[in-house]
Amino acid sequence: MLPNLNNIFQKSRLINSAVLLLIAILQPPTSAQAQTFSTEQIKPYFNGYTASLVIFNTKTGKLFTYNPANCETRYSPCSTFKIFNSLAGLDTSVIKNENHSFKWDGTKYDRPECNRDQTLQTAVSNSIVWCFQEIASGVGEERMKKFLQASHYGNEDITGGITKFWLGSTLKISAIEQIEFLKKLLNDELPFSNRSMAIVRGLIRLEISDKGVLYGKTGSDMEKGKGILGWFIGYVVHPDQIYVFAANTQAEDGASGPHTKEIVKRIFTDNNLL
C-alpha cells in the first residue's frame, strides 16, 4: 500500500514546527543575531590543512568564503553524496522510506557497524557504503545521470561506474556547488518529490541544542591508507535564520569527514550558534 502523502507532509510540518518552537523557547535572545565571519577568525581552525569553508546566511543573504579559490575547486563528494543518492532512491521507489531495510550479505568490512542489516536511517547515520551502492545500482546509470543533470550537481560525471563514481572517482563538486545544492534541498527546489526531500532532511538531522539544530553529512577519501580529503556539509537552523555550510579539508594524511565535522562544530559553537 502506498503511503498517504498528505499525512507524511503534515507530519513533517508538525515535526519541523515543534523543533523550531523548542529552539525559540530554549534559545537565548542574543544567539539569534546574525554572525559575521572573517578569514583571520577562521584560519586557525584549519591549521595544518588546505581547506574550504562556505557559510550562507538565509536571512541576510550574505555568503562567506574561506579560501575562495579552493571553494570553487571540485573534489569527489564521497559520502556527502548519500544525500543525493537517497533522494534518487526514494524518487524511483528503489527505497521506500527512512525505515527501508537492507540485508547484509555477510561480507566482512573493517568497520563493525557495516557488518549487520541496515535501515536507510542507519545507513546514512553510519555512512554504510554498501547500502548506497545497492541504491545506485537500483536507480541505474540512465536515471542517475538525468537526476544529476537536472540538479546541476557538480560535473555530473558518472563514468567511474554506477557503484563508485562518487567515491574518489569521476564525480566532482565544489564547496560553492554544495551550498547551492543544500539551498535547493531546503527550499524544495530540487527535481525530486517534496516527500523525498522531506524524508532526506530528516535523515541528516544530527543534534539539537539550546542554540540551534544541526543537520549534516560527512564524507572522506583515502589514498594508500592515508586520509587525503574530508567533507562536512549541512546547515544550522535557528528560529529566524538558517546557516548553510560546506567545508572540506585536504592533506597528505589526516584529513577526514569526522575531523572536518569537529572543526565546523567548533566554529559554530565559538560563535554562539550551536
DSSP 3-state percent helix, strand, coil across the chain (nearest 5): 45, 20, 35
Q: How many CB atoms lie within 10 A of CB 45?
A: 17
**Close Cβ partners of 142 (under 8 Å, ≥ 6 residues apart):** none
**Close Cβ partners of 29 (under 8 Å, ≥ 6 residues apart):** none
Catalytic residue, candidates 52, 76, 79, 174? 79
- Cell (9 digits) for 138: 537500483
Q: Among candidates 128, 142, 168, which has minimal Cα distance to 88?
A: 142
Catalytic residue status for 79: yes
Distance CA 215, CA 207 (A): 7
Residues designated catalytic: 79
